[in-house]
Amino acid sequence: MVEKADAAPEKNGIVSKILNVLSAILGPAIPLIMCSGLISALLIILTKCGLSTEGTTYTIISMVGNAALYFLPVLLAYTSAKKFGCDIMTSVFLGAIMISPTLIGLTEQGSFVSLFGLPVKTVNYSSTVIPIILTIWIFSYVEKLVVKIVPAAVKFVFKPLLSVIIMIPVMLCITGPIGSYCGDLLCKALTAINNVAPWSSVLIVGCLAPLLVLTGMHLALIPLVMSMFATAGYDNMLFVAFIGMNFSQFGVALACMLKTKNKNLRTLASSCAITAFLAGVTEPTLYGICVRMKKPLIATWIACIVNAIFCAIFSVRVYSFGAPSFFTMPIFLNPDGTMSNFYFAIAAAAITIVVSFVSTWVLGFDDSIYGEEAA
């Protein structure tokens, strides 16, 4: 079974190789992401039942619900180190530095700060994926070089020391900002497009939605969305496109749950369906199902494109900040009291679920990778 899995990337090419690496790195973190998603869904239910958003109970539960995604660079540092075969503790240390409150606090001092004269782009790396994976990948090569340089008698202390000294500027000046620069370019491009042809921006974001979430680049669009809420009073781009992303993961997970005979996949898919539908948390389905089995990722893309086209035609808008889910559908209610936008949003969600479900069912999937014979 292992030899088959290793041989498949060679046959399917570079895209499959990348997806397999992402699957191996992100897979172990899925249960914790799912746990956080379920807690976030529970918090929404408790809020609807009367729990005050001002109390410490809400604050603590919210903290736990956001923890897995906030500390994602630390979790992925561990799994990346195992995948790339480098020192785990040093890798986790680098991941922790990326989400240090001090480093995040530097964003208040401008876009760049200095490290011995080197430009360090100030970025909040919490919840990001690509920066830490790139960092640990480079570290796996740096560590091999350090092992050759440091004498065996002092390597216990000086190997991690020299590794960190080399990796800090590499991480903060090169590998870390790469994802941020991609996000900045995307943000500028979408701003220009949205100013000229607002209907086309949701098409672009909708078609790119799975890729944006896979790379964590969707977070770079949050400041743009906040600016749109402040100026126009609505978002016609990111959260609208994510009707397709969020509800497609429910449709995919539901199709997998009903079609598979593999108990492991059925259990995973049922939990994924709940987190996607109730809380709009897509990572468990995307990383745990779509990336691992490939064809459900195609189904996701199809559903996202269909949703983007529908929302562009009917000019669907989001009037309150929030990720689309069953409990957050009121974000589509127009403050002027009209209901047409809300109805179009519900229709978009329903169409997305149907398209993703049918696409997943028709395309099929290989559930043997979940390590259990069909029941």
Segment 237-248, tens digit of pLDDT: 889 999 999 999
pLDDT number for residue 306: 96
Which pLDDT band, with edges at 50, 70 and 90, does 6 fall under? very low
Which pLDDT band, with edges at 50, 70 and 90, does 350 fall under? very high
Please report, rounded to a whole number, the percentage of residues in the chain having pLDDT higher than 90: 47
pLDDT number for residue 183: 72
- Beta strand extents in the chain (DSSP E only): 112-115, 118-121
- Please state, in angstroms and rounded to a whole number, the distance separating the CA atoms of residues 228 and 100: 29
Residue 111 confidence (pLDDT) above 90: no
Residue 220 confidence (pLDDT) above 60: yes
Backbone angles phi, psi at 325, to 5 degrees: -160, 175
- Please state, in angstroms and rounded to a whole number, the distance separating the CA atoms of residues 224 and 133: 26
Task: Give the mean pLDDT of 27-56.
Answer: 80
pLDDT number for residue 228: 80
Q: Which two tokens stand for residue 358?
A: 């049918």
Q: Which two tokens stand for residue 131?
A: 């920066």
3-class DSSP assignment, residue 257: helix
Total residue length of the chain: 375
- Please state, in angstroms and rounded to a whole number, the distance separating the CA atoms of residues 260 and 314: 36
Q: Do the beta carbons of residue 117 and residue 123 sit within 8 Å?
A: no
Q: Do the beta carbons of residue 256 and residue 295 sit within 8 Å?
A: no
- Please state, in angstroms and rounded to a whole number, the distance separating the CA atoms of residues 267 and 53: 32
Residue 48 confidence (pLDDT) above 80: no
Most confident of 98-112, 123-137, 251-265: 251-265
Question: Counting beta carbons within 10 angstroms of the beta carbon of residue 335, is it exposed (0 to 12), middle (13 to 18) or buried (19 or more)?
Answer: exposed
Specify the DSSP element, H or E, that contains 248.
helix 238-259
- Please state, in angstroms and rounded to a whole number, the distance separating the CA atoms of residues 250 and 236: 22
Cα angle 108, 54, 216 (rounded to 5 degrees) comes to: 45
Mean pLDDT of the chain: 86
Which pLDDT band, with edges at 50, 70 and 90, does 270 fall under? very high
- Please state, in angstroms and rounded to a whole number, the distance separating the CA atoms of residues 291 and 279: 21
- Please state, in angstroms and rounded to a whole number, the distance separating the CA atoms of residues 375 and 42: 31
Cα 18 to Cα 26, 133, 211, 283: the distances in Å are 12, 12, 12, 17
Question: Counting beta carbons within 10 angstroms of the beta carbon of residue 154, is it exposed (0 to 12), middle (13 to 18) or buried (19 or more)?
Answer: exposed
Residue 2 confidence (pLDDT) above 50: no
Most confident of 97-101, 153-157, 230-234, 323-327: 97-101
User: DSSP string of 258-272?
Assistant: HH---HHHHHHHHHH
Residue with tokens 């680049």: 217
Q: Which two tokens stand for residue 77?
A: 């540092």
Which pLDDT band, with edges at 50, 70 and 90, does 3 fall under? very low
